[in-house]
Amino acid sequence: MDLMTRAEFEELVGDGDGTRLSLFVPTHRVGTTKESDEDRLRWKNLLGAVEDTLLKEGHERRDVDELLAPAWELHHDGMAWSHMADGLAMYLTQGWSASYRVPLELPELAAVSSGYTLGPVLPLLSDQNYVVLTLSQKHVRVLRGSRDRIGELDLPSVPEAFEDVFVADGPQSDSVPRPNASGRSGAGGAVYYGASSLDNAHKEEVVEFFREVARGVDEHLAGRSIPMILAGLPEWVSIYRDIASYPHLVDGAIERNPDDMSADDLRIAAWDLVSSRLQKENQRLLDRLNEQRGHGSGALGVDQTLTAANEGRVDTLLMTTGGCYVGNGAPQVVLPLRSPEDYCGLADAAARATLRNGGAIRMVEELPKGAPVAAILRY
């Protein structure tokens, strides 16, 4: 899965004169051949619907072909469809495209406008998403999760096991050091241990192993603010906290042997920590919103929120988790805003303006008066 950073979102927030296309489809994780074929067919049908719509809107065939070329290239890449996540998002304009495999259930949706549609992937910016790092000498895993889903990330820079850093000392090794996870070899590049010492590794060796893990994890998460939860025996968790530099470690941890836990076991345990943290933070934000509204400030509803966002006054944009962009099993092509009643498009515009002006976005279950969007204001 791909980790969309705040910086990557900020690349998508501007409006422009050219056509900007946002594509979303649900997909299967490492699906069977049949499931991969189903995903590709879904993508093909969505692209066909976009082509028909753009041509009917008066776009030139040459421009439509150029715009959709990266999307069709992805369609023809059979290997790519064997390694998807829960959803696929792709953004295109003339001469540029970006695609993301995300741990979210996405609708079959194409949105054509002067700005990209962010609503379906905005949960990636909130603390509803997290990373779990399992601390184990036998099987280190880095997983990206949410309330309902979790999947392992493929991070070549993170050693998966103790022997990836410490090379066995014995006849089979021929005394030749193997490069460790950071690529170093030779003197100081590999540490040797006896054949029976893996389960009784000295603490300094364990520290060095987890230091290599931390280097790889920090390299991948650099510039991101997604919460990270540690899973491991209490002594391993303590060691890792002492050496880690990633600033968004969650205070609590899953303190048990992660080798005995499936990915779904980790999801359930992680969500207990995340949901408790979210409930406290969301209640604090809602209390702050109500306090601002009591003083005649604070924005509630699409019109007030969009105005404040465009003026750069939004500190935190609050959006409900449902309502917009819900899949109905058939491809939808959404054209540019046609009327003020299109509150989904207006809420999306408020999100883009909030990000453009340095504000935060938080997803909540419910807002006062059933509003789909609200904002805590800077002034």
pLDDT for position 175 = 34
Q: Inform me whether the pLDDT recorded for 180 exceeds 90.
A: no
Q: Apex CA 145: angle with CA 122 and CA 43, to 5°? A: 60
User: Of 132, 94, 88, 123, nearest to 16 (Cα)?
Assistant: 94
* Chain Cα centroid distance, residue 291: 32
With a pLDDT cut of 90, the percent of the chain lying above it is: 53
Burial letters for 337-370: b for 16+ Cβ neighbours within 10 Å, e otherwise? beeeebbbbbbbbbbbbbbebebbbbbbeebeee
Angstrom CA distances, 43 to 224, 247, 332, stand at: 29, 38, 12
With a pLDDT cut of 70, the percent of the chain lying above it is: 84
* Chain Cα centroid distance, residue 148: 14
pLDDT for position 103 = 80
Quickly list H helices, the chain: 6-10, 33-56, 61-75, 203-221, 234-243, 263-294, 302-310, 343-356
Calculate mean pLDDT across residues 234-249: 94
pLDDT tens by residue, 273-308: 998 888 888 999 999 999 999 998 899 999 999 999
Which are the contacts of 338, defined by CB distance < 8 A and separation ≥ 6?
A: none
Which are the contacts of 124, defined by CB distance < 8 A and separation ≥ 6?
A: 4, 102, 104
Q: Apex CA 285: angle with CA 313 and CA 278, to 5°? A: 130
User: CA 173, CA 167: separation in Å to the nearest integer?
Assistant: 8
User: CA 330, CA 38: separation in Å to the nearest integer?
Assistant: 13
pTM here is 0.73
Selected residue with higher pLDDT from 344 and 108? 108
The mean-pLDDT minimum among 96-110, 235-249, 271-285, 337-351 falls in 337-351
pLDDT for position 267 = 95
Calculate mean pLDDT across residues 198-227: 82
